[in-house]
Structure 1
Amino acid sequence: MPGPWGAVLYDTVTTHVRTSPRRPPFRHRGYLWLVDLDHLPALPRPLRPLARFRPRDHELSRSNGELTIRQELARYLDGHGIRLGDGQVLMLTQARSLGYVFNPLTVYWCRDASGRPLCTVAEVHNTYGGRHRYLLPPDPEGRGETAKDFPVSPFFPVDGRYRMVLPEPGERLRLTVHLERGGHPAFTATVLGTARPAGPAALLRAALTHPFATWAVSLHIRYRGIRLWLDGLPVHPRPGARPSRSVPKPAPPTTEVPTP
């Protein structure tokens, strides 16, 4: 149900449930874009400050914005033996708004030129400025499993496994990421959403309902991190930077993001 900009907006509720050790759930409301990387929304000039899709907000390979988001993702897939070719890529993400963006999780659904699913890519950003991608094989229900090998929350070490359920969204959005440690559930993040065709009225409504949405994500993350720290949760030292997988940009280790 793409709108006049060829994209979809989702009103979302993100929920964290920490089970080891157990803490009260955390919820955050906002909105996300679902866009085709070959047809990014062309907003009228007055609305452009509310939504920009910049390559530098997603790249891992330090192309300095010389590659488009699609080109940089295709290069990443090539490195894993997957040829995107002329296939379609749908991206679920927050757009840069009012000069800022922080995307705890961006998801790419990739298909080949015939429409056959190729893979799903889960792109995780942390508040240290690092970025990492998890490559998941195609699955009819969007299920995938992978080892955790990238630091996100300072309240968890870099160990365990993710069980992700990331089906391609339609009228409804429903994403789930489970973190398991030692064979036991430790953390679950869910993102639920309802679709609206993306156009001027829908964007203005979303921006008024969730003003400064991209800034609010970072503020809520930091607030949650401080609460957990004051609650006595131990902070794990941040592992050394991994130049091949992250783009360093220092930030205080006092946060927890909506994906574990």
Structure 2
Amino acid sequence: MTTAWIYRTRIGHVRRAPIRHAFEYRSYSWYIDLDDLPVLPWWLRPFAGFDPADHFDDTRSDATLRERIDAYLAGEGVDLRGGRITALLNARVLGHVFDPLTLFWCHDPDGALVCVVAEVHNTYGGRHCYLLRPDASGYAEADKVFYVSPFNEVAGRYTLRVAEPGPFIDVEVALHREGQPPFTATMRGSGRPATIGAVVRAQITHPFASQMISARIRRQGVELWWRRLPLVPRPDPAHSPSVPQEISR
């Protein structure tokens, strides 16, 4: 195997207004080095695939994930000079992946953290990147500019806790809007090296993990709609922002 880790996680969402709604579920995520991707035996590969096309945009169909993020960073004026990039993400399972939030920690050649890229995906097939400059405690802020949910308008400001994983992960994203309590999403868990045994256990304890994430999101959406939470129309894609922001705290 490689330097990859698997984190068994608890993912929670808390909405406090205009109705109270909270849920939590268990899942798992991969933590990988983009220059040292996992190489699994053939019989496990359908359950843990990493397709570069699932992230960023690149005109070259054969661009690797490392090449895609390097191209994105170059467009933002960031040159890592070959420094290490690690990522917390979901893998493809039987050809399907849905990764609401992918985090990339970008380092210089000496190992110092330069920035964090938070790539957000919505259920409509869209994605958007926020270029973050976290403080020493892993906190950053960014204005919300991307439509994620039909129950949240494109307004407000995110505060994010995105410290790089160690034995544990503790990621938090809170959306703050004027006159409303924050909407909060968290992902917490513990990790272990992604040995073949660990990968097999993840498939047994969380089968079809990526498909289940999509199903849970839609189930929660139906429940919110049933409770008559107002819907926010999806913006015209032609008028949606396409240029990520660099935000520090």
Q: Into which bin does the TM-score normalised by the smaller protein fall?
A: over 0.9
* 1:256 corresponds to: none
Shifted more, 126-135 versus 54-63: the winner is 54-63
Determine which of 32, 36, 40 is the counterpart of 2:33.
Answer: 36
User: How many matched pairs?
Assistant: 242
* 2:187 corresponds to: 191
Q: Is residue 147 of structure 2 the alignment partner of residue 169 of structure 1?
A: no
- TM-aligned CA deviation for residue 189 of structure 1: 0.2
Q: Is residue 48 of structure 2 the alignment partner of residue 59 of structure 1?
A: no
Counterpart residue type for residue 18 of structure 1:
R
Q: Tell whether the 8 Å contact from 2:145 to 2:241 is kept in structure 1 after alignment.
A: no
* 2:84 corresponds to: 88
Alpha-carbon separation, structure 2, partners of 1:86 and 1:171: 25
* 1:16 corresponds to: 13
TM-score, normalization: structure 2? 0.93
Runs (4 or more) in structure 1 with deviation over 2 Å come to 59-64, 183-186, 242-246
Counterpart residue type for residue 109 of structure 1:
W
Q: Tell whether the 8 Å contact from 1:148 to 1:159 is kept in structure 2 after alignment.
A: yes
Query: 5+ residue gaps in structure 1?
Result: 247-260
Equivalent residue runs for 1:22-171 within 5 Å: 22-64=19-61, 66-171=62-167
* 2:203 corresponds to: 207
CA deviations over 1:139-195 (Å, ceiling 9, x no partner): 221110010000001001100000001100100010000000116433000000110
- Find the residue that maps to 2:214 and give its secondary structure: helix
Q: Tell whether the 8 Å contact from 2:134 to 2:162 is kept in structure 1 after alignment.
A: no
* 1:252 corresponds to: none
Alpha-carbon separation, structure 2, partners of 1:183 and 1:85: 44
Q: 1:100 to 1:68 in 2, by over 3 A?
A: same
Alpha-carbon separation, structure 2, partners of 1:60 and 1:139: 28
Counterpart residue type for residue 111 of structure 1:
H
- Find the residue that maps to 1:12 and give its secondary structure: strand
Equivalent residue runs for 1:228-247 within 5 Å: 228-242=224-238, 245=242
Alpha-carbon separation, structure 2, partners of 1:108 and 1:183: 32
Across the aligned residues of Structure 1 and Structure 2, the Cα RMSD in angstroms comes to 1.5
Q: 1:40 to 1:183 in 2, by over 3 A?
A: farther
TM-score, normalization: structure 1? 0.90
Query: 5+ residue gaps in structure 2?
Result: 244-249
- TM-aligned CA deviation for residue 19 of structure 1: 1.3
